Amino acid sequence: MGTDRDFIDYISEQIDLGSRLSHRKMFGEYALYVDGKVVAFACDNSLFVKPSAAAAALVPPLPQRPPYPGAKDYPVADELLDDSEAIRRLILQTAELMPPPMPKTGKRSPAR
């Protein structure tokens, strides 16, 4: 089905981190980043938070399911989207636990 842009805008408004929160479209779905770290995916208009100790400690009863076929289960944070403070706290604490982004390497020159 794919995720609607309106859903991404809603998530961004609710989390309210300004330029710290970004997203990137991938195969009709979206990856969400905080300070360059992947923290969640929006798939089929649901918010899947990266599994971490933050999700387990803050909101253990969240339902879990795979965001796409063949993926492991992720906590689904849809029920937190109407609580800006709770979703922001979860996303920020998840970001703290994620590894820093890999440095980008320069583009290689085409082979001659």
Percent of the chain whose pLDDT exceeds 90: 71
Q: Is the pLDDT assigned to residue 84 strictly greater than 90?
A: yes
Could you write out the DSSP letters of every residue in 3-18?
--HHHHHHHHHHH--G
- Please measure the distance between the N-terminal and C-terminal CA atoms of the chain and give it in whole angstroms: 43
Query: Mind listing the pLDDT tens digit for each residue in 18-45?
Result: 999 999 998 879 999 999 999 999 999 9
Amino acid code (one letter) for 40: A
Q: Is the pLDDT assigned to residue 108 strictly greater than 80?
A: no
DSSP letter, residue 49: E
Quote the pLDDT of residue 65. Answer: 95
Q: Any idea of the CA torsion for 57, 91, 87, 50, to the nearest 10 degrees?
A: -70
